[in-house]
Structure 1
Amino acid sequence: METRWCVAEKIQDTFKEHFKEIHEDLLQLFFNRSLVAQSDIDNFLNPDYRQNLHSPFLFQDMHLLVERVKRAAEKNEKVLIYGDYDADGVCSSVALKEALKNFGVEYCDLYLPHRETEGYGLNSGTVSYIQEHNYDLLITVDCGTTNAAELSVLKSLNIDVIVCDHHVAPEEKPPCLAFINPRFKKDTYPYEHLASGGVIYKVMQALAEKKDEFAKATDLPDGFEKWALDLVAIATVADMMPLVGENRVLVRYGLVVLNKTRRTGLKALIEKAKCISGILDTYHIGFILAPRLNAAGRMDHANTAVYLLQETNYKKALEIAEELNQTNAERQAVTERIVRSAIEQIEQHKTRDKVIVVANTSEGEWPTGVVGLAAGRISQKYNRPVCVIGRSSTGVTGSGRSIPPFDITAALKQCAHLLEKFGGHPQACGFTLKSEDIVSEFRSAINKIADQQMSEDDLISVLALDMEIAFERLTWQFFDDIQTMKPFGQGNQKPRFASFHVLVIALQLVGADKQHLRLTLSQKNIQKKAIAFGFGHIASDETKFPIRAGSFIDIAFEFEVNEWNGNRELQLNIVDIKIQQ
């Protein structure tokens, strides 16, 4: 697949003049992230918990929420938290239950649906369950926004509902008592990118501000809610929310809490995942911890992740963490099987569709808990929006992943006549088809929308690079400067660079299957060590990829440190290679 390198425009001398105390390479990185004023740079480098978080009462219904929770505490009402089965939903549901208990809500249950048998969000079975168990108040977490029918029934039964969510919201408020969703356009909250973990943290802040009004919360220490920031950080990174603005503050401080977490379950998970407390960052959340929490809901039931986060006995927590380790390994194997099968479909049909739609409607063959992961992998391979459809006991269910030019959830809205339900974000979605017989009709409908919105040029993979840089500028000082920009993630990607006309001094195939490449490179007599994960093929097949010692290449890379046996050396982590002919 062709990849186009796009190196950011170089900053002008007039811009440099305003920031003479900042090295121009670091200044280029700031400029690329739209940090062009001193106040923007200061807030980015040193996000302030007190100054850079918005008041929770900017949510127009937050006062209603606080008053309703206070009534539930005073009248000893039965409250049900109804969450979602992913890491964001699990973490935010657990955090909310802890908060409600702290504020005197004694009878508070947590219910997460089974992904395969119940599906996402509220359903008719949920309504019956709530009615049968005589709950007085329902609080949805990471779901509920699109469940207008179920909310209307609950309203007719005089059961109050508070919706706490962050998914794409309708134009009008759903039929519920309070609607806390930063994506709701008619709300007054100024930041729309909160994960549900962030939304629940705003709820906790609001309750904390009013704790003197709660008889059982007056003794809570100021700032007690900050201990929930470990869950908020996991939720925000796991749901791939942009780490800018308010999220940057929450995750920056959340990492501090995570690295000294009080939670027995998280300590056990960190140990079993072979991580080290004290150095955990967004990488460890996104690629190690969150996948294990997510695996519970993908392969069986998310309650296992809930039990881990709530466990106080370390021995039991270690057992649950090990179970999640094994479940995650199973999840990886199943995902790999689905990806291989889906790619066979794609290559066999030689599809030219702008949106790839692949399906296996034999129940259980493509578990719906992992089709989203498969869609992401396939989307990366072909640089196209992808929908992967499987079948569960609840119907023909799919997940989609997209590329920046195409809002896949907005496209689903135009295909609503074919869907039982749908929801999501611009780059990720979930949906259920009305019938397995309309997969082809759905494929045609969504591709008709894509043909109107995307050109062939939009399907060319673009690798955004921060700057061209010479080896002589890749110093320890510059590496240290880059570290001040953490936490990295969506919206603040780890900087990537380009170096051209680089000489290969030596290369070696490494890894169990020789799939990776270790190189020694030189540019103007300055040598650098490099690792290129997944690029072993360009050295093992010289007929297609003539690279050897003495070759000249262009490289796109991240700048990092390789640590082993107490040694530290600068290293280039190569993300793309172009071989000079």
Structure 2
Amino acid sequence: MQKYHELLRVLLEKRGIVDETQADIFLNPVYERDFHDPFLMKDMERACIRIFEAMEAGEKIVIYADYDCDGIPGAVILNDLFKLTDYKNYEVYIPQRNSEGYGLNLDAIKEFVKTGVKLLITIDLGITAVAEVAQAKVDGIDTIITDHHLPRPASAGLTSFDLPRAYAILNPKVDEYPEKMLCGAGVTFKLAQGFINKYGEYFKIKEGAEKWMLDMAGLATLSDMVPLTGENRAMVYFGMKVLKKSPRPGLQKLLAKMKIDQKYLSEDDIGFMIAPRLNAASRMDDPMRAFELLATGDEIEAGVLADHLSKINDERKTIVTSIMREVNKKLETYEHGEVIVIGKPEWRVGILGLIASKISDTYNKPVFVWGKDENDYIKGSCRSNGSVSVVELMTETRESFIDFGGHELAGGFTVHNEKIHFLEEALSASFHKIITLKNTPSALGTS
């Protein structure tokens, strides 16, 4: 470690990096070394073969992506892959955040059946969609799940999972894949990489073509705030190189609108400038606008979409500021429990994740924020301060919820109307139970 400056050595040691080999891997990513073989994912072979068979049979495929800045870039990656194969019988479907909510939904599946869909590929969702995948199977639709969220624990306990009976599941959290913390688009990139490895020659795809998709994988990895170590770090390192040269007209127009020179694009620009504008599409309008911006090859359409996303992002900022004034006033008036639950029927469901993050940062507690969607359901977003997994918290309080999902630090939920006023008390009780169990001698590994 002596070849590194003293300050750099200290910073590396704080990250647990104590020898030169580890330091070199961390500081100088190498594509061939740091990207794992995609076929280390248990169902990768099965997924690639099923997509190939669908293409050969001319079956209709739906790419069903989440509406955020992880799912949408993932949809662009698969869109790019299908363009490389010259396959045209597919569509991209992104559910409406405010009316449909997160995840697979049965109404959408019914519509897919009517249009003759035979293969459904999810992006950044699906790992908890047990009933929806089962229904799709009954209706003659195979499902390939690509996701990175935590699966629902089986009723037997937290050591086993209740997994959907999908045709294939690509999720590093449920198999032996070495990089457990890939984002959703990162998993989708591995699918594209695997498919090109297996069938690139057949479709006459140039070797290394998937590297141009790293702009979307890198963008999503930064936006989803997964740990920047291991394969994620390499994905961002090479993703930034591609982003600085990316020929996508939508990206170029958006950067020009924000007066950012593409050659000098930074990670902060992604996190604080680009991601909020892409996320504004689902929060304030239609998530397809963000997909269209990143996927279009048309300069004029790209310019119109860049202007539109910038405008609605400004509107989003105004609404968030207004709600935060209400929140701060309300939280000053009562003593809250270990978990904060706050909401109002008028609050727009699409922006509640932002509100939950701000409250959690301020009060250093897990936070659940709710509003009512267009169908009069109470829905919301939750964020953890790191003291407890929100998925574990919701699992322990499952009687209060109609539906829930997410990962350790962030999630979404739907609550029974009659239980919303007791939710803070119920979640705080579950919080105490989880913390107490974690601090028992057996959990700590002591006798």
TM-score (norm 1): 0.72
Q: Aligned partner of 2:327: which letter?
A: A
Match of 1:310 among 291, 295, 313: 295
Structure-2 residue corresponding to 1:412: 394
Identity %: 36
Q: Which has the larger radius of gyration?
A: 1
Within 5 Å, which residues of 2 pair with 1:336-485? 336-349=321-334, 351-361=335-345, 365-394=346-375, 395-435=377-417, 437-454=418-435
Structure-1 residue corresponding to 2:198: 210
Tell me if the contact between 1:73 and 1:106 (Cα under 8 Å) persists in the aligned partners. Answer: no
Q: 1:24 to 1:400 in 2, by over 3 A?
A: same
The CA distance in 2 between the partners of 1:326 and 1:192, in whole Å, is 37
2:161 counterpart of 1:179: no
Structure-2 residue corresponding to 1:196: 184
The CA distance in 2 between the partners of 1:42 and 1:213, in whole Å, is 34
SS in 2 for 1:167: coil
2:101 counterpart of 1:113: no
The CA distance in 1 between the partners of 2:261 and 2:120, in whole Å, is 38
Structure-2 residue corresponding to 1:131: 113
SS in 2 for 1:389: strand
Structure-2 residue corresponding to 1:472: none
Structure-2 residue corresponding to 1:261: 246
Tell me if the contact between 1:138 and 1:159 (Cα under 8 Å) persists in the aligned partners. Answer: yes
Tell me if the contact between 2:128 and 2:163 (Cα under 8 Å) persists in the aligned partners. Answer: no
The CA distance in 2 between the partners of 1:125 and 1:213, in whole Å, is 38
Q: 1:347 to 1:79 in 2, by over 3 A?
A: same
Tell me if the contact between 2:124 and 2:184 (Cα under 8 Å) persists in the aligned partners. Answer: yes
Shift of 1:144: 0.9
The CA distance in 1 between the partners of 2:331 and 2:95, in whole Å, is 33
SS in 2 for 1:137: strand
List per-residue Cα deviations over 1:403-449 (Å, max 9, x = no partner).
112111110111111111111111111101022x2112221111012
Shift of 1:331: 0.8
Structure-2 residue corresponding to 1:61: 43
The CA distance in 2 between the partners of 1:124 and 1:316, in whole Å, is 32
Tell me if the contact between 2:397 and 2:430 (Cα under 8 Å) persists in the aligned partners. Answer: no
The CA distance in 2 between the partners of 1:408 and 1:239, in whole Å, is 16
Shift of 1:453: 4.3
Structure-1 residue corresponding to 2:444: none
TM-score (norm 2): 0.93
The CA distance in 2 between the partners of 1:198 and 1:157, in whole Å, is 30
List per-residue Cα deviations over 1:185-228 (Å, max 9, x = no partner).
xx1211111111100110011011112563xx12x111111111
Structure-2 residue corresponding to 1:569: none
SS in 2 for 1:87: coil
Structure-1 residue corresponding to 2:32: 50
Structure-2 residue corresponding to 1:224: 209
2:232 counterpart of 1:250: no
Shift of 1:173: 3.4
Structure-1 residue corresponding to 2:316: 331
Shift of 1:24: 2.1
Q: Aligned partner of 2:225: which letter?
A: M
The CA distance in 1 between the partners of 2:4 and 2:60, in whole Å, is 57
Shift of 1:345: 1.5
The CA distance in 2 between the partners of 1:48 and 1:335, in whole Å, is 41
List per-residue Cα deviations over 1:475-525 (Å, max 9, x = no partner).
xxxxxxxxxxxxxxxxxxxxxxxxxxxxxxxxxxxxxxxxxxxxxxxxxxx
Tell me if the contact between 2:80 and 2:213 (Cα under 8 Å) persists in the aligned partners. Answer: no
The CA distance in 2 between the partners of 1:212 and 1:425, in whole Å, is 34
Structure-2 residue corresponding to 1:571: none
Structure 2 alignment gaps of length 5 or more: 153-160, 437-447
The CA distance in 1 between the partners of 2:49 and 2:210, in whole Å, is 19
Structure-2 residue corresponding to 1:298: 283
- Paired residue total: 428
List per-residue Cα deviations over 1:304-348 (Å, max 9, x = no partner).
111111222223211210110011111111111111111222112
SS in 2 for 1:236: helix
Q: Higher helix share goes to which structure?
A: 2
The CA distance in 1 between the partners of 2:410 and 2:162, in whole Å, is 23
Shift of 1:53: 1.0
SS in 2 for 1:188: coil
Shift of 1:37: 2.0
Shift of 1:39: 1.2
Structure-1 residue corresponding to 2:219: 234
Match of 1:90 among 72, 88, 112: 72
List per-residue Cα deviations over 1:23-49 (Å, max 9, x = no partner).
222111110011112211010111111
Q: Aligned partner of 1:204: which letter?
A: A
Q: 1:92 to 1:205 in 2, by over 3 A?
A: same
The CA distance in 1 between the partners of 2:428 and 2:193, in whole Å, is 44
SS in 2 for 1:175: coil
Q: Aligned partner of 2:191: which letter?
A: V
SS in 2 for 1:209: helix
The CA distance in 2 between the partners of 1:190 and 1:347, in whole Å, is 46
Q: Aligned partner of 2:358: which letter?
A: R
The CA distance in 2 between the partners of 1:39 and 1:386, in whole Å, is 41
Tell me if the contact between 1:229 and 1:250 (Cα under 8 Å) persists in the aligned partners. Answer: yes
Structure-1 residue corresponding to 2:261: 276
Structure-2 residue corresponding to 1:532: none
2:136 counterpart of 1:154: yes
